[in-house]
């Protein structure tokens, strides 16, 4: 049975790259009727940030990438669910101690008493000689008596993995194929830190084996460490999982996606009014290519289509324009009611509407929703778009074409007819506004008030610009009185 895991560290907001990793694990598990497990890797206590766990679970549950096992939400609070717990590494120290003792007894790990100052000096000397900085094995061959004496004296230590010399380590990666590396090019990795906590590289192997993980789907930044993980599996005599290393997500300059170039956290995008399902759809296609040319997928469709064999080797550029386009497609599919619900918080925040308006002007807000649905790509754009439409102090465009349009002999006739028909209109909605425009065209065939000579002047008189949303929808949103005020001002 397929068992996969997402194992982040609680170090702040959830990066979009982390969500994509979780998503690919989720899709693979669901495609194969397997289990998607969430585990917290919190052994680096210096990087722990308060509230990270809640933020992590909120991001996963909001986007629908919900774990089956491990760290979950129960009654809105973090909880652990499953038979392989605890699922938080800092609660598993006794387990790691058991396995490090086994490696020490078998001579596959050793105590290292080197000070931080000595290690830094060694690295600097290696760099000066043009060598790759790595541990020089200074404590590798200490006698049992020397080790005991140092332990009895209370000297601080770490425990390192004893890699064999000049040995090829090989493994197969679903994305990158066969990978081989010589142990002489690797470091004797620290397994237990001076504070007694395991490093990621030790704990991850123990946890993945004990939790029955069959496929390890993670970012390519872990690829250089994988040979050490492979060797640890070998040390314990355990069956290797299948490795799937995902390409990095890149900025437009083809460097790893960075905060320096804009939003990178899931919460950043959700706070701007991107739809969770659109963000998931977009991230799924960053580094993975489905068969065919379909671009818009539901989560269920992604499950059916996902195949790790089609994950790309090269990094995927985070194209914000493409994300905006995709989110816009999702917005267009919303009902006016759902669209209004999404934009209202942003309109309230900018002071364009009040809490009372949400109750007393529901019909008007639905009209605004219908108007903006074709105009914005995410909800945070709604206030500016609506402000430009509601702005009564607009200046008439000084565009030469606009001036020519308004200078036409038919404009005074059109103006008088428009004012009269709006003033005498009984009801008011988009349909009524459209009927007024059509009736003017019908009644003034002789003056050839139609097409561009009909719509362009009306739009200019009411909004000051030549192009924009559907004219009848604009007139509906502005309301009868406001349309008359603008015509009077013109």
Question: Would you name the residues annotated as active-site residues?
Answer: 259
As a whole number of Å, the end-to-end CA separation of the chain is 72
Cβ atoms of 179 and 153 closer than 8 Å: no
**Secondary structure, 3-state, the chain:** CCEEEECCCCCCCCEHHHHHHHHHHHHHHHHCCCEEEECECCCCHHHCCCCHHHHHHHHHHHHCCCCCEEEEEECCEEEEECCCCCCEHHHCHHHHHHHHHHHHHCCCEEEECCCHHHHHHHHHHHHHCCCCCCCCCCCCCCCHHHHHHHHHCCCCCEEEECCCCCCEEEEEECCCEEEEEEHHHCCCCEEECCCCCECHHHHHHHHHHHCCCCEEEEEHHHHHHHHHHHHHHHHHCCCCCEEEEECCEECCCCCECCHHHCCCEHHHHHHCCCCHHHHHHHHHCCCECCCCCCCCCCHHHHHHHCCHHHECCCCEECCHHHHHHHHHHHHHCCCHHHHHHHHHHHHHHCCCCCHHHHHHCHHHHHHHHHHHCCCCCCHHHHHHHHHHHHCCCCCCCCCHHHHHHHCCCHHHHHHHHHHHHHHCCCCCCHHHHHHHHHHHHHHCCCCCCCCHHHHHHHHHHHHCCCCCCCHHHHHHHHCHHHHHHHHHHC
Name the CA dihedral angle for 358, 364, 368, 371, rounded to a multiple of 10 degrees: 160
Among 342, 345, 322, smallest CA distance to 331 is for 342
Cα–Cα distance measured from residue 175 to residue 409, given in angstroms and rounded to the nearest whole number? 69
What span, in angstroms and rounded, lies between the C-alpha atoms of 398 and 16?
Answer: 44
């Amino acid at each position: 049975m397929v068992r996969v895991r997402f194992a982040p560290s609680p170090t702040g907001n959830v990066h979009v790259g982390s969500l994509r990793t979780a998503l690919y694990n989720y899709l693979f598990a669901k495609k194969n009727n397997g289990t998607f497990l969430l585990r917290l890797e919190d052994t680096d206590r210096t990087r722990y940030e308060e509230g990270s766990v809640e933020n992590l679970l909120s991001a996963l549950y909001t986007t629908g990438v919900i774990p089956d096992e491990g760290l979950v939400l129960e009654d809105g609070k973090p909880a652990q669910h499953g038979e392989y717990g605890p699922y938080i590494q800092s609660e598993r120290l006794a387990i790691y101690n058991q396995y490090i003792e086994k490696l020490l007894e078998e001579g596959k790990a050793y105590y290292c008493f080197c000070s931080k100052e000595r290690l830094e000096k060694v690295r600097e000397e290696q760099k000066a000689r043009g060598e790759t900085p790595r541990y020089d094995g200074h404590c590798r061959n200490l006698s049992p008596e020397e080790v005991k004496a140092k332990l009895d004296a209370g000297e601080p230590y770490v425990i390192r993995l004893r890699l064999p010399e000049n040995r090829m380590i090989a493994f197969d990666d679903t994305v990158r194929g066969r990978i081989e590396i010589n142990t002489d090019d690797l470091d004797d990795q620290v397994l237990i830190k001076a504070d007694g906590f395991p490093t990621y590289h030790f704990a991850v192997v123990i946890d993945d084996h004990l939790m029955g993980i069959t496929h390890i789907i993670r970012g390519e930044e872990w690829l250089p460490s994988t040979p050490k993980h492979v060797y640890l599996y070998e040390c314990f005599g355990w069956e290797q999982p299948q490795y799937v290393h995902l390409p990095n997500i890149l900025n437009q300059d083809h460097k790893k996606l960075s905060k320096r170039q804009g939003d990178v956290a899931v919460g950043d995008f959700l706070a701007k009014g991107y739809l969770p399902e659109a963000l998931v759809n977009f991230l799924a296609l960053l580094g993975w290519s489905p068969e065919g040319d379909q671009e818009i997928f539901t989560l269920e469709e992604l499950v059916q289509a996902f195949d790790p064999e089609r994950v790309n080797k090269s990094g995927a550029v985070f194209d914000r324009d493409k994300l905006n386009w995709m989110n816009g497609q999702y917005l267009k599919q919303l009902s006016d009611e759902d669209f209004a619900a999404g934009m209202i918080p942003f309109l309230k925040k900018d002071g364009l509407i009040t809490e009372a308006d949400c109750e007393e002007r529901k019909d008007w807000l639905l009209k605004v929703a219908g108007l903006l649905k074709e105009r914005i790509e995410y909800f945070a754009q709604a206030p500016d778009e609506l402000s430009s439409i509601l702005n009564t102090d607009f200046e008439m465009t000084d565009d030469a074409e606009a001036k020519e349009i308004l200078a036409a002999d038919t404009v005074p006739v059109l103006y008088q007819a428009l004012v009269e028909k709006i003033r005498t209109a009984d009801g008011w909605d988009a349909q009524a506004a459209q009927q007024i425009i059509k009736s003017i065209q019908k009644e003034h065939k002789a003056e050839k008030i139609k097409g561009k000579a009909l719509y362009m002047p009306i739009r200019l008189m009411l909004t000051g610009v030549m192009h924009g949303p559907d004219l009848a929808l604009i007139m509906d949103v502005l309301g009868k009185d406001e349309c008359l005020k603008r015509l009077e001002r013109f």
